Amino acid sequence: KEKKGTTGLLDEMQKMEKVAQNLVDFAENFQFPPEEEKLEEVAAQVAEMAEICRKMEEGLAPLQQQIREVFHRIVRSRAEVLDVLDQIGKMSTPVPY
């Protein structure tokens, strides 16, 4: 799963998966009263998860913008193709005498 040289959002997603699994393990094995050491560890993991989420949000904003731009280009291109096809259809229609 972990590869050397992974960057950006993939790295953040892998970190998020690890932290989430640790938190799930804690929740599944929780015993009352909790140990102080475990509580501190969980608090640190929750803070780490919040930081990862913040970084993911920052990293996704440019990607969302790029996707939006590509979508608009596709829509414009489709409209242009339909216009060309319409013009070709008008030119190839026989003129009645």
Q: What is the pLDDT of residues 14-73, one digit of tens each?
A: 888 999 998 898 888 877 887 888 889 889 999 998 998 888 888 888 889 999 999 999
**Can you give the pLDDT at residue 1?**
41
**Can you give the pLDDT at residue 4?**
47
Q: Is residue 53 within 8 Å of residue 16, measured between CB atoms?
A: yes
**Can you give the pLDDT at residue 6?**
44
Only one residue has tokens 């003129």, namely 95
**Can you give the pLDDT at residue 79?**
96
Longest Cα pair distance anywhere in the chain, in angstroms?
96
Q: Please state, in angstroms and as integers, the Cα–Cα distance from residue 40 to each residue in 74, 84, 86, 90, following that order.
A: 50, 66, 68, 74
Q: What is the pLDDT of residues 4-14, one digit of tens each?
A: 444 666 788 88
What CA–CA distance (Å, rounded) separates 97 from 69?
A: 48
Q: What is the pLDDT of residues 73-91, one digit of tens each?
A: 999 999 999 999 998 888 8
**Token code pair at residue 78:** 């489709």
Q: Is residue 1 within 8 Å of residue 14, measured between CB atoms?
A: yes
